[in-house]
């Protein structure tokens, strides 16, 4: 009895840890297309259909979420949504979702775009990366388990660090005979 | 006896190992002002240390093998020659202290020599570390003349270069051993390093601070060339990419601008202006791709675009799905980015 | 060097000194009844005597050595061919991180400091147990749990992958997703708590529990080494505890200590880490020096030459060892004047080490030491350590360090220093004290095979790495291009690793064979002079029938024909003699705690707290409750003990 309990606990641990910690570099190269079961319009004859739940494999994978975070920066989602607080675009850290909070809804929003400014990224971002971004975006509002989403947000506040040297005036670590002259051709 | 034999073997193996091959990424094959000074210091220390090692091991062997003064059973707290021993040990310590002091002075002198160049007209470059490639910039007060390239540094021979460096993500370390020692690139810090290449050639360098999955494949090439060649190169790198003339290349450009490539890369002269990945404006003029990992030829480039993850697992470029026609035209376009 | 006259009896104020007793058998029975720890399955977890705990430390640390070595073998397979696909970058990074962390935190420090000191120091100073025996048991279980946790995590693919140094920002929340680095940081917490506990025990044991007459200038050199190491642990470990805690707080509760975008500083971590990291090297290496002194004295049949110089060298090393951490950071671009200071300090530390080597050579000079296996390992230690020390001098120089820092040259250097300075003395220690621990000798023939294979395998593996580093091969790369000309050297290194593996297997076979069939050792097989050889092998539960008194540095050699002994300690309770720290004159008697299950339970509760805090900060306040309960149980006085204490109080009142 005891042994069964221990074994099943260990097995559970293994499963949880495996999906959370895998670094899967070899992902299929499919381009982003509309996911099946995603509704494109908010108008439904005869009441809203129950959305078919799509599970996003990256939502239980820490590396996937962190890649999503990086891509969110890289693809300039921050330009409109900032780091979740919103700006030109709606905030992403709250629980208000205009087009639905399910992974499939967020996916559709990114791939198809939405009225009033959200561009369509169809064909511009590979499908897996979109799902990674979806996982990260959902983690912003606390919809993912804590051990999968990262701790702090490194760039949450925009202000420059006091310790970081301004770029115009590089800190020269070696004592120099004379200041750095401008390079002349 | 055995100790001496082994150490003799060690020294000869070592010398053979160091001098055997002229390598393009080697500390003991200096081609720059700084590396040469460090090389001198290395050999000074090497010989001082070798002599110290041989003397100590010889003394040890003699102590172990020398005839015993008293029978083995006898315990004696001290020996007859205790006073002599004290004197010998004192002298040995004094010699050690003096040699260490000598090495300290030579080390500090070398440090000063490699730090203080007094250049009349240095070349300023900026190196920014990324996981896992190098962004190289040749800044100019006229922003349009600033050159941005990746993984390949061109410098004129005999000209002092000041390298300002920082990192965009984690700590990297810039190291081209034939030219100079390494310098860490630390996010939040800017540091400067002076160096000067003395001989024409292409020298390989590599990231030396562990920086994640592809730390092993984060190399660059430092091309030291005559000032004339260098200036020609710089002028050429300043130009924007020209629009392609033939149909295949035009199709490739169309593909480039409408697909995933444009999300990360810049080609100056087009709408592609993202700076997540390396600047591709003059991609075809570089010798290697993927941070010094593969020679730059259409075959490698095609393989890299389709599935870079099989070459550098974990790198930031996603696999790309396209048919062979599209790939061919894309490669044709990229080949025009001279 | 002239031995002092017998210890004066006036100084022994509280205990009587007798010159002979006739009923040793009765005394043995009574002491054994008092000092024996419970046996059986549950009893095993209750044991608190330093010999049991010390043996467990030795075995556990050796198992981690084997695990760490297996990881190293995997790395050597990966590097035997250029662009090898045996391990991917993800696995390779986990493996080299695990190798470094295991060898440093789970093998080297626990083995060289905790294991050897816990077993040997009380015997060498002539005491019945180590100070704070329950804390000692607690420290062992905590270390064991931390090690198991790290390896379970590794097998679940949560192995840390940012290097044993875990530099930020790579180990920070942005670049190390998941729980991998958190497990690493908590493993540090486990091992630090355990090392700090042992450090406190060793300092108190050495300062307050020495046999009468063992004044500071008569302490065996191994005990001096342990004492100095214990002080280093106390000053160095808080620094890494700070850095790893700040790291885990950055990762778990969103502090910004190391985030440059928020005014945090990536270099701060390096300063804190190396302020611990460099003394760590000496923490590993100083106990080895103590072993060397013990072995050389025993096989040369004389006092070690220059005792005072050796002790001062140890102390100097410990002090200067705290002043050279920046030489790990020369490439970060610090001001030149500061760097020169650290160059000078790094060169200076060669002086005490050189002094010790000269003193040992002077000890052996003219004595022709008996060449048995422990002595072989000591001679191997000289050869390898001197080489590692000399490359260390090169690394101290800023310009040269800029070239070879973070290359295989450094890998070669520190393996020469750490394997030469710790593993060779460790094998010497195991061959030397195995008879004391088990009562049987290890096989000499197997020992020589073990030595020669290890010696040649080691040099074959690590010597070529010097050349690899000079020819530009950086550390911590999982692959290298075939055209770099590094392949041949890497193949040689990998073959050397095979020899080392075979050698360690021979050692294991030797241990298992000798434990059953080795020659019976007797009390003092080597004719050595320190106190541990004055009791039976293995020592009885109470260590010494009579607490001895000491006349000289090598207590047995310097003993008078009718050496005084201490009597008057109670035999019905665990009473020990406490002496003062300068002269070891008897001070008072104190009672030691019995065996108890509470330290084990407290360690389990602490483990739950530490592991829980990886997943939620709430584990700290909630987990503190079981810790408090078990610790209360630990310190709750027994009925018998309270009654005895009360009785003493009454007696004191009546006297007054």
Give the span between the Cα atoms of C228 and A55, in whole angstroms: 58
Q: State the complex-level ipTM.
A: 0.93
- The H helix count followed by the E strand count for chain A is 5, 0
pLDDT digits (tens, 9 = 90+) for C64-118: 999 999 999 999 999 999 999 899 899 999 999 999 999 999 999 999 999 999 9
CB contact under 8 A, C156 and A148: no
Chain A residue numbers with beta carbons less than 8 Å from the beta carbon of C340 are: none
CB contact under 8 A, B75 and C529: yes
Chain C residue numbers with beta carbons less than 8 Å from the beta carbon of A20 are: 158, 178-179
Q: What pLDDT shows up at residue A171?
A: 46
pLDDT digits (tens, 9 = 90+) for C515-545: 999 999 989 999 999 999 999 989 999 999 9
How far is C-alpha C297 from the chain's CA centre? 21
B181 touches B38 (CB < 8 A): yes
Task: Say which residue the tokens 């958190």 belong to.
Answer: C182
Average pLDDT over every residue of A12-39: 68
Q: What is the DSSP letter of A118?
A: B
SS3 track for B33-80: HHHHHHHHHHHHHHHHHHHHHHHHHHHHHHHHHCCCCCCCCCCCCCCC
Chain C residue numbers with beta carbons less than 8 Å from the beta carbon of B57 are: 382-383, 386
Which one, of B67, B26, B302, B74, lies nearest residue B181 by Cα?
B26
A37: left (phi over 0), alpha (psi -120 to 50) or beta: left
Chain A residue numbers with beta carbons less than 8 Å from the beta carbon of C333 are: 173
Question: Residue B6: which residues within 8 A CB-CB, separation 6 or more?
Answer: C383, C459
Sign of CA dihedral C72, C73, C77, C82: positive
A32 touches A125 (CB < 8 A): yes
* Average pLDDT of chain C, as a whole number: 91
Q: Does B22 touch chain C (CB under 8 A)?
A: no
Interface test with chain C among B77, B202, B316, by most C beta carbons within 10 Å? B77
Chain A residue numbers with beta carbons less than 8 Å from the beta carbon of C254 are: 151-153
What are the domain boundaries of chain A? 52-144
- The H helix count followed by the E strand count for chain B is 7, 12
In three-state secondary structure terms, B135 is: strand
CB contact under 8 A, A21 and C158: yes
Tell me which of A94-98, B165-169, C388-392, C642-646 is least confident: C642-646
Tell me which of A56-60, C13-17, C312-316, C369-373 is least confident: C13-17
Joined together, the tokens standing for residue B18 give: 């160091």
CB contact under 8 A, C252 and A18: no
Q: What pLDDT shows up at residue A123?
A: 86
Q: Higher pLDDT residue, C366 or C111?
A: C111
Average pLDDT over every residue of C586-593: 90
Radius of gyration of chain C, Cα coordinates, nearest whole angstrom: 25
CB contact under 8 A, B116 and A174: yes
Chain B residue numbers with beta carbons less than 8 Å from the beta carbon of A180 are: 122, 124, 162, 192
Give the span between the Cα atoms of C502 and C504, in whole angstroms: 6
- CATH for A52-144? 1.10.760.10
In chain A, whose CA is at the least distance from the CA of B186? Answer: A164
Distance from CA of B77 to the nearest CA of A (A): 55
Q: Where are the beta strands (DSSP E) in chain B?
A: 123-130, 133-138, 147-150, 152-156, 161-167, 172-174, 183-185, 191-195, 201-206, 219-225, 288-289, 294-295
Q: What pLDDT shows up at residue A86?
A: 81
Which one, of C420, C365, C363, C366, lies nearest residue C389 by Cα?
C420
Confidence check: pLDDT of C205 > 80: yes
Residue C632, number of CB atoms within 10 A of its CB: 11
Joined together, the tokens standing for residue B277 give: 């990945």
How far is C-alpha C121 from the chain's CA centre? 12
Q: Does A164 touch chain B (CB under 8 A)?
A: yes
Q: How many residues does chain A have?
A: 185
Calculate the CA dihedral of residues C148, C151, C156, C157 and round it to 10 degrees.
Answer: 150
A113: left (phi over 0), alpha (psi -120 to 50) or beta: left
pLDDT band, very low/low/confident/very high, at C8 (cuts 50, 70, 90):
very low
Q: What pLDDT shows up at residue A56?
A: 85
What pTM did the predictor assign? Answer: 0.91
CB contact under 8 A, C400 and B41: yes
Q: List the alpha helices (DSSP H) in C305-443.
A: 307-320, 336-348, 350-364, 373-396, 398-404, 408-418, 424-438
Q: Does C50 touch chain B (CB under 8 A)?
A: no
CB contact under 8 A, A175 and C336: yes
Q: Higher pLDDT residue, C641 or C74?
A: C74
In chain B, whose CA is at the least distance from the CA of C262? Answer: B188
Q: What pLDDT shows up at residue B7?
A: 56
Chain A residue numbers with beta carbons less than 8 Å from the beta carbon of C150 are: none
Joined together, the tokens standing for residue C134 give: 């329950």
* E strand or H helix that includes residue B6: helix B2-19
**Does the domain spanning B247-334 belong to CATH 2.60.40.420?**
yes
CB contact under 8 A, A171 and B162: no
In three-state secondary structure terms, B153 is: strand
pLDDT band, very low/low/confident/very high, at A177 (cuts 50, 70, 90):
very low
Joined together, the tokens standing for residue B213 give: 């999955």
In three-state secondary structure terms, A183 is: coil
CB contact under 8 A, B60 and C261: no
Confidence check: pLDDT of C367 > 70: yes
Give the span between the Cα atoms of C353 and C324, in whole angstroms: 15
pLDDT band, very low/low/confident/very high, at B215 (cuts 50, 70, 90):
very high
Chain C residue numbers with beta carbons less than 8 Å from the beta carbon of A156 are: 262
Q: Does A150 touch chain C (CB under 8 A)?
A: yes
Chain C residue numbers with beta carbons less than 8 Å from the beta carbon of A18 are: 156-157
Q: Does C181 touch chain B (CB under 8 A)?
A: no
C19 touches C573 (CB < 8 A): no
Average pLDDT over every residue of A109-138: 90
Q: Does B5 touch chain C (CB under 8 A)?
A: no
Joined together, the tokens standing for residue C13 give: 């104020």
Q: How many residues does chain C have?
A: 656
Confidence check: pLDDT of A167 > 50: no
Question: What percentage of chain A reaches a pLDDT higher than 90?
Answer: 15
Q: What pLDDT shows up at residue A93?
A: 85
pLDDT band, very low/low/confident/very high, at B222 (cuts 50, 70, 90):
very high
pLDDT digits (tens, 9 = 90+) for B301-333: 999 999 999 999 999 999 888 889 999 999 999
B132 touches B312 (CB < 8 A): yes
Q: What pLDDT shows up at residue B15?
A: 63
Question: Residue B312: which residues within 8 A CB-CB, separation 6 or more?
Answer: B132, B214, B217, B290, B293
Give the closest of A23, A156, A175 to C90, CB-based. A23
In three-state secondary structure terms, B191 is: strand
Joined together, the tokens standing for residue C480 give: 């290298």
Q: Does C170 touch chain B (CB under 8 A)?
A: yes
| Inter-chain CB pairs, B–C, below 8 Å | 284
Question: What percentage of chain B reaches a pLDDT higher than 90?
Answer: 68
């Amino acid at each position: 009895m005891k042994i069964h309990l221990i074994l099943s606990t260990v097995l559970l641990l293994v499963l949880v840890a495996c999906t959370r910690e895998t670094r899967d570099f070899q992902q299929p190269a499919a381009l982003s297309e509309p996911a099946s079961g995603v509704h494109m319009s908010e108008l439904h004859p005869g009441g809203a259909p129950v959305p078919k739940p799509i599970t996003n494999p990256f939502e239980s994978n820490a590396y996937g979420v962190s890649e999503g975070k990086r891509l969110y920066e890289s693809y300039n989602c921050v330009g409109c949504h900032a780091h979740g607080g919103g700006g030109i675009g709606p905030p992403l850290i709250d629980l208000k979702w205009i087009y639905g909070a399910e992974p499939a809804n967020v996916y559709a929003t990114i791939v198809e775009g939405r009225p009033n400014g959200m561009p369509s990224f169809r064909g511009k971002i590979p499908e897996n990366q979109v799902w990674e971004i979806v996982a990260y975006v959902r983690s912003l509002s606390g919809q993912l388990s804590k051990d999968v989403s990262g701790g702090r947000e490194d760039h949450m506040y925009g202000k420059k660090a006091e310790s970081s040297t301004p770029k115009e005036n590089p800190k020269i670590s070696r004592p120099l005979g004379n200041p750095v002259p401008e390079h002349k051709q | 006896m055995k100790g001496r034999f082994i150490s003799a073997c060690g020294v000869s193996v070592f010398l053979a190992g160091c001098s055997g091959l002229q390598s393009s990424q080697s500390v003991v094959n200096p081609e720059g002002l700084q590396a040469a000074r460090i090389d001198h210091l290395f050999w000074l220390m090497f010989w001082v240390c070798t002599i110290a090692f041989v003397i100590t091991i010889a003394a040890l062997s003699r102590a172990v093998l020398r005839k015993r003064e008293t029978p083995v059973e006898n315990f004696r707290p001290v020996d007859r020659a205790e006073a002599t021993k004290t004197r010998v040990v004192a002298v040995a310590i004094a010699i050690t202290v003096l040699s260490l002091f000598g090495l300290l002075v030579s080390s500090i002198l070398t440090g000063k020599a490699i730090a203080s160049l007094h250049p009349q007209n240095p070349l300023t470059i900026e190196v920014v570390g990324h996981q896992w490639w190098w962004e190289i910039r040749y800044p100019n007060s006229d922003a349009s003349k600033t050159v941005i390239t990746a993984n390949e540094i061109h410098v004129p021979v005999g000209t002092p270069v000041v390298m300002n460096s920082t990192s965009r993500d984690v700590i990297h370390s810039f190291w081209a051993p034939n030219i100079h020692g390494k310098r860490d690139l630390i996010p939040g810090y800017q540091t400067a390093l002076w160096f000067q290449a003395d001989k024409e050639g292409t020298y390989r360098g590599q990231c030396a601070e562990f920086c994640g999955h592809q730390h092993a494949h984060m190399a660059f090439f430092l091309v030291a060339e005559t000032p004339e060649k260098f200036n020609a190169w710089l002028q050429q790198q300043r130009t924007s990419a020209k629009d392609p003339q033939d149909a295949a290349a035009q199709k490739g450009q169309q593909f480039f601008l409408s697909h995933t490539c444009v999300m990360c890369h810049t080609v100056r002269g087009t709408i592609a202006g993202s700076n997540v990945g390396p600047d591709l404006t003059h991609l075809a003029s570089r010798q290697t791709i993927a941070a010094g990992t593969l020679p730059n030829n259409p075959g490698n480039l095609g393989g890299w675009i389709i599935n870079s993850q099989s070459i550098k697992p974990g790198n930031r470029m996603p696999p790309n799905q396209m048919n062979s026609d599209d790939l061919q035209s894309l490669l044709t376009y990229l080949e025009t980015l001279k | 060097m002239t031995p002092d006259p017998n210890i004066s009896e006036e100084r022994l104020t509280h205990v009587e000194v007798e010159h002979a007793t006739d009923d040793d058998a009765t005394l043995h029975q009574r002491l054994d009844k008092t000092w024996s720890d419970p046996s059986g399955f549950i009893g095993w977890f209750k044991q608190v005597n330093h010999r049991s705990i010390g043996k467990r430390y030795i075995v556990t640390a050796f198992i981690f050595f084997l695990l760490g070595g297996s990881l190293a073998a995997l790395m050597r397979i990966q590097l035997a061919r250029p662009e090898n696909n045996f391990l991917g970058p993800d696995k390779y990074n986990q493996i080299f991180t695990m190798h470094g962390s295991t060898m440093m935190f789970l093998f080297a420090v626990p083995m060289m400091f905790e294991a050897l000191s816990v077993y040997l120091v009380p015997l060498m100073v002539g005491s019945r147990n180590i100070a704070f025996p329950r804390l000692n048991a607690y420290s062992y279980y905590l270390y064991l749990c931390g090690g198991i946790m790290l390896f379970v995590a590794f097998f679940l693919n949560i192995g840390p992958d940012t290097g044993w140094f875990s530099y930020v920002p790579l180990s920070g929340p942005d670049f190390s997703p998941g729980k991998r680095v958190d497990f690493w940081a908590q493993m540090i917490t486990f091992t630090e708590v355990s090392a700090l506990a042992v450090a406190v025990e060793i300092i108190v044991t050495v300062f307050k529990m020495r046999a009468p007459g063992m004044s500071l200038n008569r302490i065996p050199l191994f005990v001096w080494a342990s004492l100095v190491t214990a002080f280093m642990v106390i000053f160095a470990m808080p620094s890494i505890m700070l850095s790893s805690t700040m790291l885990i707080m950055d990762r778990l509760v969103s502090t910004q200590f190391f985030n440059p975008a928020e005014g945090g500083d990536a270099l701060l971590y390096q300063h804190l880490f190396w302020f611990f990291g460099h003394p760590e090297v000496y923490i590993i290496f100083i106990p080895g020096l103590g072993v060397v002194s013990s072995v050389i004295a025993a096989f040369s049949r004389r006092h070690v030459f220059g005792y005072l110089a050796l002790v001062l060298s140890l102390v100097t090393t410990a002090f200067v060892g705290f002043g050279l951490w920046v030489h790990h950071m020369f490439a970060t671009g610090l001001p030149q004047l500061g760097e020169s200071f650290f160059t000078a300090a790094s060169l200076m530390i060669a002086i005490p080490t050189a002094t010790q080597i000269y003193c040992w050579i002077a000890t052996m000079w003219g004595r022709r030491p008996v060449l048995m296996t422990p002595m072989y390992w000591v001679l191997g230690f000289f050869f390898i350590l001197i080489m590692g020390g000399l490359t260390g001098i090169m690394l101290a120089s800023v310009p040269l360090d800029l070239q070879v820092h973070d290359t295989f040259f450094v890998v070669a250097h520190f393996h020469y220093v750490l394997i030469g300075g710790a593993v060779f003395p460790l094998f010497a220690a195991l061959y030397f004290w195995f008879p004391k621990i088990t009562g049987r000798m290890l096989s000499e023939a197997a020992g020589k095979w073990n030595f020669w294979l290890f010696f040649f395998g080691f040099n074959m593996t690590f010597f070529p790495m010097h050349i690899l580093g000079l020819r530009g091969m950086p550390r911590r790369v999982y692959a290298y291009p075939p055209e770099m000309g590094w392949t041949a050297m890497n193949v040689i290194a990998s073959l050397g690793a095979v020899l080392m593996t075979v050698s360690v297997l021979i050692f294991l076979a030797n241990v298992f064979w000798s434990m059953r069939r080795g020659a019976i050792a007797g009390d003092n097989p080597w004719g050595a002079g320190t106190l541990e050889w004055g009791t039976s092998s293995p020592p009885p539960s109470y260590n010494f029938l009579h607490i001895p008194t000491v006349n000289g540095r090598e207590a047995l050699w310097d003993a008078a024909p009718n050496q005084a002994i201490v009597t008057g300690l109670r035999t019905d309770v665990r009473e020990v003699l406490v002496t003062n720290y300068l002269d070891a004159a008897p001070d008072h008697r104190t009672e030691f705690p019995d065996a108890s299950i509470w330290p084990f339970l407290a360690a389990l509760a602490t483990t739950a707290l530490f592991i829980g805090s990886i997943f939620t900060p709430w584990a700290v306040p909630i987990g503190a409750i079981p810790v408090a309960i078990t610790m209360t149980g630990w310190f709750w006085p027994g009925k018998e003990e309270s009654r005895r204490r009360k009785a003493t109080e009454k007696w004191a009142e009546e006297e007054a």
